Structure 1
Amino acid sequence: MFIIIAPQGTIIKGFDHESEVSPYARDEHEVWPGIYEEAPTSLLSLLEDEAITKDDVTFCFWRENNDLTWQKGKVEIPTGAEDGSDFLLRTIFRTAEDFVEFAEGYFELSLPLEVVAQVYEGAAITKEMIKALNPDGDIEKNLQELAELDF
């Protein structure tokens, strides 16, 4: 799932690889009809980055700055099928405590709450924080990726 917050609004693109509306579940390997229908070009263009893989999508929501509610295309999902949005949107955690609890249950990871809390508070990411969150990770690669994201 990608959530892009930009000056013109916000767009959320999600992909549930097990969804019946996945492009991989279709013979033509195409985006399910209607997913991007009516999405504003100014927001849809934000999905053009190759790292996002725009066509790997099972749901899309957007909200321009002047919108009062979230919008989505005119998608007809077959009875009994799901687009994955319920599951994936539930993985947005409002507190560091909620995320740490999720990581323990889902990934079987024990993360240091104090470091996760610093990330939630917007602290600058340090080598020590990366090491605490992923002791086996490539710290320099992580720092480079963060720099490329202007984080």
Structure 2
Amino acid sequence: MNVHDLIRALPDIPTLRSRCRAMAALELLIGGNTEYGYFSYAPMWAPGVEAALMDDGSGGEYAVVFTADGAFGRGFDHESPMSPWGDEDIALWPGLVDTVPEVFRPWVTEPAFCAEEGVLQATVVFWRETSDTAWRAGEVEIPVGATDGAGRLFAVLAAGTSEGYRAFAEDYYETALDPAAIEHVWNLRPLTETVVKALDPDLTPARAAAAVALIGYPGGGTT
């Protein structure tokens, strides 16, 4: 999967936002990472900005920001030949950000997403304005036999199913997970003690409620 496949697979903005929040909630409930885990979600990342973040701890990362103008996403695969640091001339891959709409241009130079050289850490870039009927990306040509990293970075997000997430999580956390509990959180249903204990027997309902409340989980607690 490259960026062109990715933008065809992504749902509308509200659905994507909910999907990102669910993945962050599952990270909190399974992994116990309260900040900057594999998947995280910041409902107040900046004034008027929500952000879904991924960091695999091995040089792969992404960020999707949600604003009143729409959504902008960027992903960085350090192993991709399309990395800005692929040769001596530090520069973004041709076409990656050339056609980014003006409302999203500030994200191209956002310090949090750029290296010290002021270059956006990205091998994948996509966006969707609120008036758009589809996601968009630049006219990027992927090198033959190479990848931009979209498949590795965004596979779980693009799959968009609780089963897709469970397959990832069971491999990542090296443990079997309750399909029903995963689906419950994936659909952003109010947490129950049964669901919390199924995902982490050592996690108390009160701690679970406090954790998911920070990412704006519906209900923000357990029933």
- How does the TM-score come out when normalised to structure 1? 0.69
Paired with 1:107 and 1:23, the residues of 2 have a C-alpha distance of 31
Structure 1 residues 52-61 or 103-112, which shifts more?
103-112
SS at match of 1:100: helix
Q: Which residue of 1 aligns with 2:5?
A: none
**Does the 8 Å contact 1:112/1:133 carry over to 2?**
no
Paired with 1:88 and 1:37, the residues of 2 have a C-alpha distance of 22
Is 1:103 the counterpart of 2:155 in the alignment? no
Distance 1:107 1:56, change over 3 A: farther
What residue ranges of structure 1 are gaps of 5+ in the alignment?
Answer: none
Cα deviation, residue 72, structure 1 = 1.4
**Does the 8 Å contact 1:59/1:84 carry over to 2?**
yes
Distance 1:79 1:98, change over 3 A: closer
**Does the 8 Å contact 2:75/2:150 carry over to 1?**
yes
Query: What residue identity is the alignment partner of 1:34?
Result: G
For residues 28-59 of structure 1, what are the alpha-carbon distances to aligned partners after superposition, in whole Å with 9 as ceiling and x for unaligned? 33322321111123224346261x44722101
Cα deviation, residue 21, structure 1 = 0.3
Paired with 1:123 and 1:45, the residues of 2 have a C-alpha distance of 35
How high is the sequence identity, in percent, across the aligned residues?
29
Distance 1:103 1:78, change over 3 A: same
Is 1:55 the counterpart of 2:105 in the alignment? no
For residues 89-109 of structure 1, what are the alpha-carbon distances to aligned partners after superposition, in whole Å with 9 as ceiling and x for unaligned? 322242223211222235534
SS at match of 2:160: coil
Query: What residue identity is the alignment partner of 1:16?
Result: D
Query: What residue identity is the alignment partner of 1:119?
Result: V
SS at match of 1:99: helix
SS at match of 1:119: helix
**Does the 8 Å contact 2:156/2:164 carry over to 1?**
no
Is 1:122 the counterpart of 2:197 in the alignment? no
What residue ranges of structure 2 are gaps of 5+ in the alignment?
Answer: 1-61, 218-223
For residues 100-127 of structure 1, what are the alpha-carbon distances to aligned partners after superposition, in whole Å with 9 as ceiling and x for unaligned? 122223553433444433432225789x
Q: Which residue of 1 aligns with 2:101?
A: 40
Query: What residue identity is the alignment partner of 1:103?
Result: A
Paired with 1:57 and 1:78, the residues of 2 have a C-alpha distance of 16
Structure in which a larger fraction of residues adopt strand? 2
Is 1:11 the counterpart of 2:72 in the alignment? yes
Structure with more contact order per residue of length (Cα contacts < 8 Å, sep ≥ 6): 2
Distance 1:101 1:78, change over 3 A: closer
Query: What residue identity is the alignment partner of 1:108?
Result: E
**Does the 8 Å contact 2:75/2:125 carry over to 1?**
yes
Paired with 1:67 and 1:73, the residues of 2 have a C-alpha distance of 15
Paired with 1:134 and 1:18, the residues of 2 have a C-alpha distance of 37
- How does the TM-score come out when normalised to structure 2? 0.50
Query: What residue identity is the alignment partner of 1:38?
Result: T
Distance 1:133 1:113, change over 3 A: farther
